[in-house]
Amino acid sequence: MPIYSTPIENIKFILHDLLDAQSLSALPGYEDVSVDLIDQILEEGGKVCEEVFFPLNQSGDEEGCQFNDGEVTVPEGFKEAYDTFVEGGWTGLACDPEYGGMGMPALVGTVMKELICSSNMSLGMYPGLSYGAYEALHKFGSDELKSVYLPKLVDGSWSGTMCLTEAHCGTDLGLIKAKAERNKDGSVNIMGTKIFISAGEHNMTENIIHLVLAKLPDAPEGVRGISLFVVPKFIPNDAGEVGERNTINCGSIEHKMGIHGNSTCVMNLDEAKGWLVGEEHKGLRAMFAFMNDARLGVAMQGLGIAEIAHQNAVAYAKERLQMRSLTGTKALDKPADPIIVHPDVRRMLLTGKAVTEGARALSYWVGMELDIANRHPDEAERQRADDLVALLTPIIKAYCTDMGSEIANLTVQVYGGHGFIREHGVEQYVRDARIAQIYEGTNGIQALDLVGRKMGQGFGRLLRRFFHPVQDFIEANQADEQMQEFIFPLAKAFAKLQQSTAMVAQRGMKNPDEAGAASVDYLRQFALVALAFMWCRMVKIALAKLEAGEGDKDFLETKLHTARFFMTRLLPDADARFKMVLAGAAPLMAMDEAAF
């Protein structure tokens, strides 16, 4: 059976030593934030994930969701677990107190998302999607819509979805065919079919609130003609409670590779009543509030899967006996040595450790910058943070999910044949992780977003939000002898990232295929440099604490060992990616289509 425990020591190191999360108390609305409060919340949240969510992960995968005559039943125990989650107030953790939320920072919500995704990704998607719906309505909904829907989304009695995709269009939303006809009372009637709708129908909440993209009769062509509407499963009555059944129904659920405990639905709208969110024909702007939160959430899915897969790989490698060490017997009292003595097994385990801890630091940094972007009293500081979040969101979405999938596969490799069968439970992580590279914008789309939109935005303003702090850090620490083994690899990789950036920009202006051809490798190169930066920052803290005789010596020295592994065995891939970017578009685009 799989295991899971909250990596609380690593989380606290990042929150308090690296990021100084308590400094968020200087922001309006966060005055009560303290180290003790953050730790208490995360320790309690960890217990819920370990004791309530995690025990249902494997059984939920095996049972899956059941569809019968338009109704969906979730796996046994899911509703009870969700109810426990709701009773603890977790659905409102990072929500506005005006609507019943706890008002905690987005950073704390980001950490909680990781724990949820590690323990039970399928179950965690239900409240996760609801938070995205909350975000879109909170930012763009009218006061009337907010008063009706937000308290119910916050307290968890109602859940939310996002309805974008149609059979003929996924990424290219300008092609949607769903139509909205205006009614005299200010509502609309929507006709159309949406597919791949996560949590579109289930029996866990008394109402489901769908955010639906559709086009009004006078809509311009393409994405400029998209509007966003809130379409409830049950129309709220005058008292704000569940009323008459709306004509949005589940036609079927998908039989899919993974996340079996979450219903993936085909939703049919037959003149379903809806209400406009934001302005007419500007729904994509409102939906991106949902999408950006969703992309950060999906990044946490990748990180969460990586963490639990890594934990299980380590536990198995310490117990599984196979052959003797290449340098002589290590376990004299056993017939063979544990496989953790073998170099290649250690390579796989250290990859999982270095990636999860580095990606966690990067992701939490983005979560903290999100709080600054939303709350800081200085407009310039809000803009700086917002720029950094916008730049790094596609990077962490793509990198965390790619590596979540890779580390899940490495875990199966550590287990060998036992990993390939269901009994041990780790093959589920491979299946569950795979979707995260696809939904909320495939990772190829994240790369195009990075080079096509973020790179040139504000004449490179977004890039400077990352490049300048990295350059300042290198200059401030390159003379420190203890830091040099970490700083020099970062400096070399960073210099090549700057070269790649200039090259992609220049070539892309002449031929857009050049930017497209370089995009995925450029994103990976960027991600590796970003992780190297985070590892150098963690190393600096670990060295200072060791010198001062503070903290857990073994924990801090392990940080240094892991950082060395990252710099020597993983960061070199950035140089390979640099060479791939240099190769240009010709190797991809020169061959005639018929030759494929």
**DSSP class per residue in 509-542:** HH-HHHHHHHHHHHHHHHHHHHHHHHHHHHHHHH
Kindly state whether residue 524 falls inside one of the protein's structural domains: yes
| Residue ending a domain, choose from 267, 282, 297 | 282
Q: How confident is the model at residue 174, as a pLDDT?
A: 79
Kindly state whether residue 456 falls inside one of the protein's structural domains: yes
Q: Which of 179, 158, 178, 182 is closest to 168 using CA atoms?
A: 178
Residues 203 and 86 reside in one and the same domain = no
DSSP 16: I
Kindly state whether residue 152 falls inside one of the protein's structural domains: no
Q: Which of 208, 223, 529 is closest to 362 using CA atoms?
A: 529
Q: How confident is the model at residue 289, as a pLDDT?
A: 67
Kindly state whether residue 408 falls inside one of the protein's structural domains: no
Q: How confident is the model at residue 46, as a pLDDT?
A: 98
| Residue ending a domain, choose from 143, 169, 195 | 143
Residues 582 and 502 reside in one and the same domain = yes
433 contacts: CB under 8 Å, gap ≥ 6? 258, 301, 302, 305, 306, 309, 401, 404, 405, 408
- Is 440 annotated as catalytic? yes
Q: Look at the chain and report how many structural domains it folds into.
A: 3
Q: Of 71, 440, 481, 593, which residue is the catalytic one?
A: 440
Residues 468 and 581 reside in one and the same domain = yes
Residues 124 and 228 reside in one and the same domain = no
Residues 200 and 81 reside in one and the same domain = no
Kindly state whether residue 319 falls inside one of the protein's structural domains: no
| Residue ending a domain, choose from 113, 143, 173 | 143
**Residue 444: how many other CB atoms lie within 10 Å:** 16
The overall pTM is greater than 0.85: yes
List, in sequence order, every residue forming a beta bridge with 166; answer none if it has no partner: 169
Residues 184 and 274 reside in one and the same domain = yes
Q: Name the helix (H) or strand (E) containing 382.
A: helix 379-415
The H-assigned helical ranges of 320-378 are: 343-375
Q: What is the C-alpha separation between 2 and 408, in angstroms, rounded?
A: 13
Residues 123 and 174 reside in one and the same domain = no
Q: How confident is the model at residue 223, as a pLDDT?
A: 85
Can you say whether the dihedral through the CA atoms of 57, 62, 67, 68 is positive or negative? Answer: negative
Residues 171 and 133 reside in one and the same domain = no
**Cα-trace Rg, the chain:** 24
Kindly state whether residue 64 falls inside one of the protein's structural domains: yes
The CATH number of residue 251's host domain is 2.40.110.20
Kindly state whether residue 72 falls inside one of the protein's structural domains: yes
Q: Could you say which residues of the chain have pLDDT below 70?
A: 289-290
Residues 94 and 209 reside in one and the same domain = no
Contact, 299 vs 396, CB < 8 A?
A: yes
The CATH number of residue 81's host domain is 1.10.540.10
Tokens of 538: 């963690």
Q: In Å, what is the CA distance from 278 to each residue of 146, 186, 577?
A: 12, 13, 41
Which amino acid is residue 99, in one-letter code? Answer: Y
Q: How confident is the model at residue 291, as a pLDDT?
A: 74
Residues 174 and 137 reside in one and the same domain = no
Q: Which residue range(s) make up the domain with 172?
A: 159-282
Tell me which long-range contacts 463-469 makes (C-beta under 8 A, separation of at least 24): 463/391, 463/501, 465/384, 465/387, 465/388, 465/391, 466/388, 466/391, 466/392, 466/530, 467/498, 469/533
Q: Name the helix (H) or strand (E) containing 245.
A: strand 242-245
Q: To the nearest 5 percent, what fractions of the chain are helix, strand and coil?
A: 65, 10, 25
Residues 36 and 109 reside in one and the same domain = yes
Kindly state whether residue 223 falls inside one of the protein's structural domains: yes
Residues 66 and 170 reside in one and the same domain = no
